[in-house]
Chain A
């Protein structure tokens, strides 16, 4: 069941993005920003947590989940050190994803080269 929910919820979150691409003038870059900020808001409202419980990676892998991670990280940090946690929680929680992206960016840029789409 875990896998089914992951597939369906993850797929649906992507379909919403596709509808935004096809039916509105919103650009992909804005969709990415919108999803992360949206994830923070949904998580803060307490609505995203239950979805992650239900769908696992189906909710955490899309960028909404990245926003959720930021929001949860901030809560944990604020619990620990008070308002200063608002400055550290987001980076701490998202650290693995951002660091891995940058690291692989450097790694693959050394390894690969620009490829033609033709």
Chain B
């Protein structure tokens, strides 16, 4: 599995010089509440639809990020973003208001690292000076589109995960102050033939394991060389599987963290196997990891977002659920 060629090292290590995180109600009751830039106590934000509300989460987040970077909107050279809504409408409609040059991404819940890895390539080759990367997810918008109406009385299976109502945005530049992206690995699509749509952590774990192994091989590194190896939203089931899969390859992870398990308190918040969604890893990266990297508390972090790439149609047609994970390696400020 250790294909070293997959790992890319940007010519110069681009810098994440500003970031912002926005969370919703459940996120404001979770363990990371104190670390968000902005928390909305109510998830509709007064909008008529959940889709519009998610769009507004992204706008809030982008505007906060620009403010922290002290940039005006017309200085943004490109926005890379995506979300879980069909045809990525949350991001597209946010961009309608924000007006940046925009390239939409779809990587399901892996979108944040997909965007950051692409931004690192673009900024790392000095092609673009200010690349904004942002993603979001909204529990209500995701439920009504992919599961059942919000008022429907269904019992969640214990393996099901809770879509985060959150957004995260990062500004990537060739130079500046902030955590650096020193290496990146684009993942390959992996399918362990999981068919249960309520168990996406399991579907994504093999992709995460493979990308971690490829990245370690590409860098000639050991897990212990990192302060933390972080996955996006594997949740409880996916985390267990990831550790087992890596164990099977002789790699023992002791410093693994999963954003889906960090965002909520599983004991008290009734989120099933943990958080998920494109906004989950984005918000936890921006709320928790980037500030700590900037403060020098972490020196080297391997950060992955993991996505499950099925659709309602392929699921109903009996297809198995393929997973994808991209990794970026972050270096803290000294």
Name A's B-contacting residues (CB within 8 A): 21, 25, 28, 112, 114-118
Contact = CB atoms under 8 A, between A and B. Distances in A.
B296 interface: no
Contacts of A117: 139-140, 143, 150
Contact of B165 (A28, A115, A118): A118
Contacts of B50: 114
Nearest to B158: A22
Nearest to B48: A113
Interface string B175-210: 000000000000000000000100000000000000
A114 B155 contact: no
Interface in B20-59: 24-26, 42-44, 50
B151 interface: yes
B277 to A, nearest CB: 13
Contacts of A25: 196
29 contacts: A21-B155, A25-B196, A28-B154, A112-B151, A114-B50, A114-B140, A114-B144, A114-B149, A114-B150, A114-B151, A115-B150, A115-B151, A116-B25, A116-B42, A116-B43, A116-B44, A116-B139, A116-B140, A116-B150, A117-B139, A117-B140, A117-B143, A117-B150, A118-B24, A118-B25, A118-B43, A118-B139, A118-B140, A118-B165
Nearest to B165: A118
Interface residues of B, number: 18
A112 B150 CA distance: 12
A92 B42 CA distance: 45
Contacts of B149: 114
B295 to A, nearest CB: 30
B260 to A, nearest CB: 16
Contacts of B140: 114, 116-118
Interface in B125-163: 139-140, 143-144, 149-151, 154-155
Nearest to A28: B154
Contacts of B143: 117
A116 B163 CA distance: 12
A62 to B, nearest CB: 15
Contacts of B165: 118
- Of A25, A114, A115, A116, most buried by chain B (CB within 10 Å of CB) is A116
Contacts of B154: 28
Contacts of A28: 154-155
A25 B159 CA distance: 12
A21 B42 CA distance: 32
A21 B154 CA distance: 10
**Residue among B26, B143, B150, B165 facing the most chain A CB atoms (10 A cut-off):** B150
Contacts of B25: 116, 118
